[in-house]
Amino acid sequence: MSVDPVDLLAKRFVEAIVAAFGAEFADVDPLVRAAQNPQFGDFQSNAAMGLAKRLGRNPREVAAAIVQHARLEDVCETPEIAGPGFINLRLRGDALPRLLEDLEGTLKGREHHTIRRALSWTSGTSQRVVVDLVGVNIAKQMHVGHLRSSIIGDTLCRVLASVGNEVIPQNHLGDWGLQIAMVIASLRRRRVDLDRLDLDHLEEAYRDATLDCKADRPALESARRINAGPHRIAEWEAQVAGAEERLEEAKRTLVRLQQGESGIVAAWEKITAITMQACYEIYDLLDLVVTHEHNRGESFYRERLGPVVDEFVRSGVAKESDGAIVVEIEGDETPLIIRKSDGGFLYATTDLAAIRYRIQELGAQRVIYVVDNRQRDHFRKVFEAIRKIGWDRLPGGGRAELRHVAFGAVCGADGKPLKTRSGENIRLKDLLLEAIDRAGAIVRDKNPDLPDPEQKDVARAVGIGSVKYADLSTHLVKDYIFAWDRMLAFEGNTGAYLQNQYVRIRSIGRKAPDDVRADAAFLIAAVEEKSLALALLRYPGTLASVAETLEPHRLCQYLYDLAGAFSVFYTQCPVLKAKTTALRDARIRLSRLTERILADGLGLLGIRTLERM
């Protein structure tokens, strides 16, 4: 049962509407809202006016019929009908305390929720969910582009698990194909000692390999057109021929890799290990739930690509077109190519194999892709192809849900995708270390008395928390501007503000005298207490909505509003100096509940809470 009175009342109203007017009204929105004027109560339902139109009846009569059928005694005083047909609702004095106790009860045992031990708090909704996140490419450093996938995906894993799902993260590494063969070929050609290879070498090799294999035909053509002279033309001819030869060499290397030739495979393994090592450092800095167990890179599916294409052809879903194998997508001019005319497989083919694996072998009922919005078309087509062939069918009937959670770019102050001054991609690790550094300077400034090790710890929690919060609090599809000052601010809708609010609330609890009764009855009388109570009771519903919409900013906004409601409460309602001990204890209990929800919510965002900062 929901602990949010708005949800609760809405459900009761729908029941009443159905009882009064019939089952065909089960989808009516009961329009339960906070009362516009607290004088008339806490909530109101504005459903009668719309219903009256549909029924061709007088709205006040309709309101009366709803009220007559509504079972509200346990939550509300007798409702009043006002104006054209508003139904005004006033909560019973004991309703909020009871709901707060229920909420507190559901939080018990959640302190240590982990991704594998999913604790349910909306019963009966448990699903197995695969979340595709991170998706780094081998032989390249993780860059800011991977930041969002990691951060958003991590939060979604945590939130989905917290509402009772079984979550399986999957890191679809780009660890197979021509790019990697190009790097291997380039390293071998340059006789690089693989045992002394590090990520810097690897990045260089990646860049060189890409340049080496890129034939600049337009340059050759324009040199010929303007008749740039025999030397110039010969230079470009050599460039093009060389690049073509190196591309051929890379293709041959790929075949040798695919055939499992030991030297080539060893080089591939080495490259993978070096990249992953760097990747794990980032996981660690970001404190992500994914681990090496969740690696299922493109290479994992390599033996499955042939059979995937065969089945698409056999089932008639795919057909041949100019030597390639394609799947027509309704309403789309270009089909989805699943095998090229030269026999090669594509990124899409691997994704088809991966979806099949996730649904049929991992048992996913929901598969979520946290990948930037430039891949929107790719996923739309791949999902459509899967539906056509029916690999989304679930054993118990019904179909798995396939969702692309698309997100925008991280931009610099100029509004263009974030780069270094010299125009290169910013390394994720450098960015995160800078966040920690900057947070450290702020913390030293604000609290010079913190002992050094604690200062470091706080800097890390605040720095990383700020980067995450800035990312999560914006609407996913929007590009967002990466601005240090704003994201590290201690005021406003930021991670540091919430961490700081937590510290403040926590210190109230610490200052509480020993005779405080933890189970003192909640006393909700003042408006500020009521607003805080209502904000607290919205927490489970907020998590459910994030799990449904996959929009983490809803949780950020919620926590920000909660912290705001607490501030107002704390300035208006004395806690430690309350008039009676009963009131003091009730307010301490309310503070502690706020503290726990703030910690729980920040934890789901992957943000650490601190004792001091």
Does residue number 392 form part of the binding site for ligand ARG (CB under 6 A)?
A: no
Residue type, 513: P
Does residue number 294 form part of the binding site for ligand ARG (CB under 6 A)?
A: no
- Which among 462, 438, 460, 458 has a CA at the least distance from the CA of 450? 458
Q: Mark 114-153 with x for binding to ligand ARG (rule: CB under 6 A) and - for no binding.
A: ------------------x--x-x----------------
In whole angstroms, how close is the CB of 456 to ligand ARG at the nearest point? 33
| Backbone region of residue 260 per phi and psi (left: phi > 0; alpha: psi in -120 to 50; beta: other values) | left
Backbone angles phi, psi at 216, to 5 degrees: -95, 75
Q: Which of 12, 90, 128, 172 binds ligand ARG (CB under 6 A)?
A: 172
In whole angstroms, how close is the CB of 472 to ligand ARG at the nearest point? 19
Residue nearer to ligand ARG on the CB measure, 149 or 165: 149
Please give the C-alpha separations between residue 469 and each of 108, 317, 478, 544, in angstroms, as whole numbers. Answer: 26, 44, 15, 20
Are the C-beta atoms of residues 403 and 367 closer than 8 Å to each other? yes
Does residue number 177 form part of the binding site for ligand ARG (CB under 6 A)?
A: no
Residue nearer to ligand ARG on the CB measure, 5 or 169: 169
Q: Which of 52, 371, 442, 599 binds ligand ARG (CB under 6 A)?
A: 371
Q: Mark 437-476 with x for binding to ligand ARG (rule: CB under 6 A) and - for no binding.
A: ----------------------------------------
SS3 393: strand
Does residue number 299 form part of the binding site for ligand ARG (CB under 6 A)?
A: no
Does residue number 272 form part of the binding site for ligand ARG (CB under 6 A)?
A: no
CA atoms within 13 A on the CB side of 257: 25
Does residue number 154 form part of the binding site for ligand ARG (CB under 6 A)?
A: no
In whole angstroms, how close is the CB of 149 to ligand ARG at the nearest point? 7
Helix axes 144-162, 428-446, angle to 10 degrees: 70
Does residue number 85 form part of the binding site for ligand ARG (CB under 6 A)?
A: no
What ranges make up the beta strands (E) of 456-552? Answer: 480-481
In whole angstroms, how close is the CB of 370 to ligand ARG at the nearest point? 8
The distance of Cα 172 from the centroid of its chain, to the nearest Å, equals 16
Secondary structure string (H, E, C) spanning 6-39: HHHHHHHHHHHHHHHHCHHHCCCCCCEEECCCHH
Please give the structure tokens belonging to residue 232: 């110039």
Backbone angles phi, psi at 28, to 5 degrees: -70, 135
Residue nearer to ligand ARG on the CB measure, 18 or 406: 406
Residue nearer to ligand ARG on the CB measure, 180 or 274: 180
Residue nearer to ligand ARG on the CB measure, 174 or 540: 174
Q: Which of 85, 174, 465, 495 binds ligand ARG (CB under 6 A)?
A: 174
In whole angstroms, how close is the CB of 137 to ligand ARG at the nearest point? 5
Size of the site for ligand ARG (CB under 6 A): 9
Does residue number 164 form part of the binding site for ligand ARG (CB under 6 A)?
A: no
Give the dihedral sign, CA 62/64/66/68.
negative
Does residue number 296 form part of the binding site for ligand ARG (CB under 6 A)?
A: no
Backbone angles phi, psi at 81, to 5 degrees: -100, 130
- Tell me which residues in 338-367 interact with ligand ARG (CB under 6 A): 351, 354
Does residue number 388 form part of the binding site for ligand ARG (CB under 6 A)?
A: no
SS3 417: strand
Please give the structure tokens belonging to residue 311: 């089945």
The distance of Cα 568 from the centroid of its chain, to the nearest Å, equals 30
Site residues (vs ligand ARG, CB under 6 A):
132, 135, 137, 172, 174, 351, 354, 369, 371
